[in-house]
């Protein structure tokens, strides 16, 4: 049976995605010919802003290179425009007088940047922002000229403006409305966005209408309708797109704003399909890539004679690709008589959350500054979930067990992970299992998930970890895939450039992913707190889940609460409190822990604040990257072999170091004699009592890989132990890599180097001074939970 002839007009993202979907379903059905009017293979148009902003190169945004067309036996004609469709004879003709016959024709001509038809719009230096050539023109202009005006304060205009700023140009954004991105943001969110962009150096001319572009051969400025003017060397039009429908209209197809199609993406001529930005379905023309990919999948099913329910329309969401500005918008953004809004606006932190509810269902989302809840909320919106059982606080703020890792686990295989490329969870899982994928880069290459805007990377990594059953290790020269900077390079940049917030670090140091990732967010939070102990405000949302909850989550979803018992010593009052709490909250398990404490296991999340309140005991930080325990024996006070008072020294150490953040957990032990009943020789900092004082050991590690601690020195007094311990902990804090235990740290730094530092009186004094500065800022975290309604609400999430 001979193949049918499929001709596609257009070589863009939507059209080529259709071809990919067709090849998946029936690679032998069609003889495929593709015409593109640009001289390039298929590239990622939505990543042009990243090219302009210097985050990536033109070569890196190519999605299907020349070899892909050859491997799939696709005839590709680039830089050749189709000028005529003959529907009766079923052929297309090009500007080069080439004629190609078809059995099925696919029109994927996309859209063009709308150029305002004002006087001067054809001058040199006036451009849209739609193609690689537009991008190249802007980059070349920036090398010679200094002032740019972007007309349009929407998504594309702001991304273009940010790129021009990065290239050293002065940039003004002209916007007709009073609010930036008014299609996606309401006034408060728009105001926060404007404030942040102004801080980056962008200037705005709001509520201005362009009347004329001034210049002779080249643009010299803009004159507005009110008579005011602004000078410039470059004008970028970002005021919308216009579907490319002239070819279809001349062929006699039904055209409104776009080429009218049915649910199977067929035009009035059933042998001709249309897809992407040139197509109009049920009165809607879509300009974002996710719905275009959804259309492509339906078209492929139908054209390959497979059963499909057809395309029913798409629910859109928006994110901005501008460093330092995190926003998310989906669905309705304004209230009406039937729609009520739940909002939270923090003008100091620069965050804004708004969720619109109608008939107990989420119908709209606007997030600015903190978009960590976007996946959860968008999923509820798409599922039309009943949220009547939620409290307002729990709608706005997810609980610790509602993070991306748990969201991924609860998602069905049909749910979309990567909206830009239309990749479902099931497709990613299938690829991981069938192709034995181990890293995010492998998943991205195989499935294209995370390969466009990059916002979905945390979810893609979550699917990978969930499928493989544990955390994955990505090989990278930097601290994570977001940056090439090593730990030492990063901390040096933070110090020398005076960077005081994680958002500032990611923006100034050119993070690949503006919001960071699960690996670098907690690391940045640690490094900033260590470098600027008196100025940095801890980002609780960047901490690991157990640290946010101040308890360890168990496999059944309940938590363990382990209060501090200094040196493993307790008293009657503490024991009474523990008994009372265990009875009140029906604790299913009470256990003596390996750290000489009593743990309460099986606590419900909602009860955690009340449990801490009732206990009136400090947290034992069994969850923290900090001092966990100081294990002690009973010492000389009771043991006939004891040479020193181990309990008193252990309690002093525990009280000195509790709460302070360290690169990883730290365990200490104080034994009263060389019998070392508390295993001081495998502790991060171990102390063993001898006749003439205390032996100090460092860099030990128990666990799966036991590392014996090394003898640092012998000192005579408790005060010397405490002083050396503070110097050791502070030096580890300042030079350790986040999530690096002291054993590999000592090995990396060199034991002799660490010893030399600890024996240097001047350095020890300096380290102790910096330690005292750092420890001064710490408060009891559970007190913050009890005192802050927003944080307390984290525990009160009600599930659908």
pLDDT per position as a tens digit, 511-557: 887 778 878 888 999 999 999 988 888 887 777 767 777 787 776 66
Residue 798 has pLDDT above 70, yes or no: no
Q: How many other C-beta atoms can be found within 10 angstroms of the C-beta atom of residue 553?
A: 17
Which pair of structure tokens corresponds to residue 171? Answer: 């940039």
Helix (H) or strand (E) holding 252: none
CA-atom Rg of the chain in angstroms: 31
- Token couple for 229: 């003017």
Question: Looking at residues 751-757, what average pLDDT do you find?
Answer: 93
Which pLDDT score is estimated for 54?
74
Greater confidence, 747 or 60? 747
CA–CA gap between residue 392 and residue 343 (Å, rounded): 9
pLDDT given for residue 480 in this prediction? 84
Is 521 or 799 the better-scoring residue by pLDDT? 521
Residue 322 has a pLDDT of: 66
The answer on pLDDT for 788 being more than 60 is no
Distance CA(215)–CA(561), nearest Å, equals 72
Q: How would residue 792 be classed by pLDDT, with cut points 50, 70 and 90?
A: very low
The arithmetic mean of pLDDT across residues 246-274, rounded, is: 96
Q: Which residue ranges does the chain devote to CATH 3.50.50.60?
A: 4-111+243-303, 126-239
Residue 567 has pLDDT above 90, yes or no: no
> How many whole angstroms separate alpha carbon 171 and alpha carbon 536?
31
| Amino acid 422: pLDDT | 67
**Mean pLDDT in the chain?**
87
| H, E, C per residue of 708-776 | CCEEEEEECCHHHHHHHHHHHHHHHHHHCCCCCCHHHHHHHHCHHHHHHHHCCHHHHHHHHHHHHHHHC
Tokens of 490: 């990063």
Out of 371-375, 559-563, 784-788, the most confident range is 559-563
Query: 3.40.1280.10, 3.40.50.720, 3.40.50.2300, 3.50.50.60: which CATH number matches 126-239?
Result: 3.50.50.60
Q: How far apart are CA 500 and CA 668, in angstroms?
A: 32
For residue 417, give both structure tokens.
Answer: 């992970």
CA distance 735 to 492: 11
CA dist 774 and 779 (Å) reads 12
> Alpha-carbon distance 580 to 602, whole Å?
15
The pLDDT value recorded for residue 537 is 84
Identify the DSSP state of 449: T
How many CB atoms lie under 10 A from the CB of residue 614?
A: 14
> Residue 34's closest CA among 106, 103, 84, 119?
106
Describe the strand order of the beta sheet including 99-101 as a list of residue ranges: 82-86, 91-94, 99-101
Write the pLDDT tens digit of every residue in 4-59.
999 999 999 999 999 999 999 999 999 999 999 999 999 988 888 878 877 777 88
CATH 3.30.413.10, the chain: domain bounds: 626-779
Nearest Cα residue to 387 out of 376, 372, 401: 376
Rounded to the nearest 10°, the torsion over CA 395, 401, 407, 411 is: -100
Q: Is 364:330 a contact under the CB 8 Å cutoff?
A: yes
Question: Which pLDDT value is given to residue 450?
Answer: 78
Taking the CA atoms of 522, 769, 687 and 594 in sequence, report the sign of the dihedral they define: negative
Q: What is the pLDDT of residue 284?
A: 92
Instruction: Taking each helix axis as running N to C, give the angle between helix 289-303 and helix 13-25, from 0 to 180 degrees, rounded to the nearest 10.
Output: 40
Please tell me what DSSP assigns to residue 636: G
C-alpha count within 13 angstroms, C-beta hemisphere, residue 532: 18
Predicted confidence band of residue 107 (pLDDT cuts 50, 70, 90): very high
User: What is the rounded CA–CA span in Å between residue 26 and residue 658?
Assistant: 63
18, 240, 5: which is closest to 109 by C-alpha? 18
Q: Of 111-120, 327-336, 450-459, 570-579, give the lowest mean pLDDT range.
A: 450-459
pLDDT score, position 137: 94
Examine the pLDDT at 169 and tell me if it is beyond 60: yes
* Position 400 pLDDT exceeds 60: no
What span, in angstroms and rounded, lies between the C-alpha atoms of 196 and 321? 14
- pTM of the complete model: 0.60
The encoded tokens of residue 147 equal 């002032």
Is residue 38 within 8 A of residue 133, CB to CB? The reply is yes
Q: What φ, ψ does residue 714 adopt, rounded to 5°?
A: -125, 130
Class level of CATH domain 4-111+243-303: alpha beta
Q: Which of the four pLDDT bands, split at 50, 70 and 90, describes residue 452?
A: low
Q: In the CATH hierarchy, which top-level class contains the domain 626-779?
A: alpha beta
Checking if the pLDDT of 135 tops 90, the result is: yes
pLDDT at 275 over 50: yes
Dihedral of alpha carbons 296, 300, 303, 306, sign: negative
Q: Could you tell me the pLDDT band of residue 233, with boundaries at 50, 70 and 90? A: very high
What is the mean predicted confidence (pLDDT) over 562-581? 89
Retrieve residue 446's tokens. Answer: 């195989």
Residue position matching structure tokens 């005076």: 498
Of 80-84, 305-309, 601-605, the poorest mean pLDDT is in 601-605
DSSP state of 484: S
Give CA separation, 761 vs 691, 720, 723, 757, 765, in Å. Answer: 25, 12, 11, 8, 6
Asked if 368 and 400 count as a contact pair (C-beta separation under 8 A), the reply is: no
């Amino acid at each position: 049976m001979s193949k049918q002839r499929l001709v596609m007009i257009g070589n863009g993202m939507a059209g080529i995605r259709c071809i990919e979907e067709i090849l998946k379903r029936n690679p032998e059905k069609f003889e495929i010919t593709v015409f593109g009017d640009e001289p390039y293979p298929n590239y990622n148009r939505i990543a042009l802003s990243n090219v302009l902003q210097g985050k990536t190169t033109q070569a890196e945004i190519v999605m299907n290179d020349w070899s892909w067309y050859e491997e799939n036996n696709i005839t590709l004609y680039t830089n050749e425009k189709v000028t005529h469709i003959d529907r009766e004879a079923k052929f297309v003709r090009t500007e080069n007088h080439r004629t190609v016959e078809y059995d099925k024709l696919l029109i994927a001509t996309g859209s063009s940047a709308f150029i305002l038809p004002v006087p001067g719009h054809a001058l040199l230096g006036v451009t849209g922002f739609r193609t690689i050539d537009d991008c190249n023109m802007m980059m070349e202009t920036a090398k010679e000229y200094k002032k740019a005006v972007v007309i349009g304060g929407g998504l594309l205009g702001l991304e273009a403006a940010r790129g021009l700023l990065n290239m050293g140009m002065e940039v003004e954004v002209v916007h007709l409305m009073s609010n930036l991105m008014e299609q996606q943001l309401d006034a408060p969110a728009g105001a926060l966005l404007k404030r942040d962009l102004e801080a980056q150096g962008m200037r705005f001319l709001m509520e201005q209408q362009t009347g004329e572009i001034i210049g002779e051969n080249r643009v010299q400025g803009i004159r507005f309708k009110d008579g005011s003017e602004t000078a410039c060397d470059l004008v970028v039009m970002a005021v919308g797109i216009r579907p490319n429908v002239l070819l279809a209209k001349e062929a006699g197809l039904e055209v409104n704003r776009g080429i009218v199609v049915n649910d199977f993406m067929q035009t009035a001529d059933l042998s001709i399909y249309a897809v992407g930005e040139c197509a109009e379905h049920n009165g809607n023309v879509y300009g974002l890539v996710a719905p275009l990919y959804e259309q492509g999948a339906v078209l492929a099913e139908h054209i390959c004679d497979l059963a499909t329910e057809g395309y029913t329309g798409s629910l859109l969401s928006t994110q901005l690709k501008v460093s330092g500005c995190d926003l998310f918008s989906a669905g309705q953004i304004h209230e009406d008589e039937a729609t009520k809004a739940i909002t939270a606006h923090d003008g100091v932190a620069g965050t804004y959350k708004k969720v619109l509810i109608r008939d107990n269902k989420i119908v709209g989302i606007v997030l600015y500054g903190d978009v960590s809840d976007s996946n959860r909320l968008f999923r509820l919106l798409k599922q039309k979930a009943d949220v009547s059982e939620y409290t307002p606080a729990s709608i706005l703020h997810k609980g610790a067990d509602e993070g991306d890792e748990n969201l991924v686990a609860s998602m069905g295989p049909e749910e979309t992970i990567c909206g830009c490329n239309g990749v479902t969870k099931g497709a990613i899982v299938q690829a991981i299992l069938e192709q034995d994928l181990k890293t995010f880069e492998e998943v991205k290459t195989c499935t294209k998930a995370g390969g466009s805007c990059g916002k979905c990377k945390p979810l893609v990594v979550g699917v990978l970890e969930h499928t493989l059953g544990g955390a994955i290790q990505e090989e990278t020269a930097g601290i994570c895939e977001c940056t090439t900077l090593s730990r030492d390079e990063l901390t040096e940049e933070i110090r020398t450039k005076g960077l005081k917030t994680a958002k500032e670090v990611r923006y100034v140091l050119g993070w690949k992913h503006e919001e960071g990732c699960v690996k670098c967010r907690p690391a940045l939070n640690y490094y900033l707190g260590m470098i600027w102990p008196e100025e940095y405000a801890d980002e609780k949302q960047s901490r690991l889940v157990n640290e946010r909850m101040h308890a360890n989550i168990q496999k059944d979803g309940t938590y363990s609460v382990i209060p501090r018992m200094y040196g493993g010593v307790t008293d009657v009052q503490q024991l009474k409190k523990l008994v009372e709490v265990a009875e009140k909250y029906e604790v299913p398990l009470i256990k003596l822990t390996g750290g000489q404490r009593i743990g309460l296991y099986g606590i419900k999340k909602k009860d955690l604040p009340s449990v801490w309140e009732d206990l009136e005991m400090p947290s034992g930080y069994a969850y923290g990257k900090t001092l966990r325990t100081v294990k002690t024996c009973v010492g000389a006070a009771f043991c006939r072999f004891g040479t020193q008072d181990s309990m008193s020294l252990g309690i002093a150490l525990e009280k000195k170091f509790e709460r302070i953040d360290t690169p990883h957990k730290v365990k200490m032990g104080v034994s009263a004699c060389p019998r070392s009943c508390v295993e001081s020789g495998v502790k991060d900092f171990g102390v063993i009592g001898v006749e003439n004082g205390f032996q100090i050991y460092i860099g030990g590690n128990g666990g799966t890989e036991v590392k014996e601690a090394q003898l640092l020195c012998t000192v005579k007094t408790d005060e010397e132990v405490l002083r050396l311990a503070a110097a050791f902990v502070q030096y580890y804090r300042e030079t350790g890599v986040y999530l690096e235990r002291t054993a590999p740290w000592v090995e990396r730094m060199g034991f002799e180097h660490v010893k030399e530092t600890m024996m240097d009186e001047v350095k020890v004094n300096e380290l102790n001074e910096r330690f005292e500065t750092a420890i001064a800022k710490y408060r009891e975290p559970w007190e913050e939970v009890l005192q802050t309604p927003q944080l307390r609400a984290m525990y009160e999430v009600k599930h659908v």
